[in-house]
Amino acid sequence: MIAVIDYKCGNLRSVGNALHRIGAEYQITSDPAVIRSASHVILPGVGEASSTMRALQKDGLDQVVLSLTQPVLGICIGMQLMCRYSEEGDVNCLGIFDTDVRKLPGSDTLKIPHIGWNTVQPLPVETRHALSLQTGLPDETYFYYVHSFAPAICEQTTAITGYGVPFSAILQNGNFFGTQFHPEKSGEAGEIMLKNFMKL
């Protein structure tokens, strides 16, 4: 069973719908016992980093996430909260990924927030986990983004996207994974990625 963490900050319905489409058993919950006993955990989220971090901390869910040993997937702001620090709201985060979240540079041709489809380029295979979120997906696969901030590239980056600057599209540290894009809104490619997560 997949536990989808409910900390009142997110795209819970769209994540639940995507899991339903691929036949996954899941429960949306804020119960630490249910989260810890799940086979897989998803930390979704939409919103501003400092307020979502406070929401995660409110009932001690930040410590629950840090204690998890099963596969954990952070989506969008969920992944950003798993980083070290975010410029959005000047907030310290969970520190699972050893990188900072920075504001994307805008321009006349690159509007912020970055909304829409963009390609994800995997890094060389030797940098990836044996069972990867990217298994079965070709290079330059398109995924759906909605964000103004993104994690800088670091040693835990397994795939990148460029929008003004290159940034981490996918991060991994042990059993913790994160995507800056929304797999639950990314059609068939997103469903393949969620199935890959279920196999971890």
Distance CA 142, CA 41 (A): 24
Strands lying side by side in the sheet with 85-86? 91-92, 85-86, 100-103, 149-151
Catalytic residues, which ones?
A: 76, 182, 184
Contact 91, 85 (CB under 8 A): yes
Distance CA 103, CA 167 (A): 10
Q: Give the side-chain half-sphere CA count within 13 A for 158.
A: 22
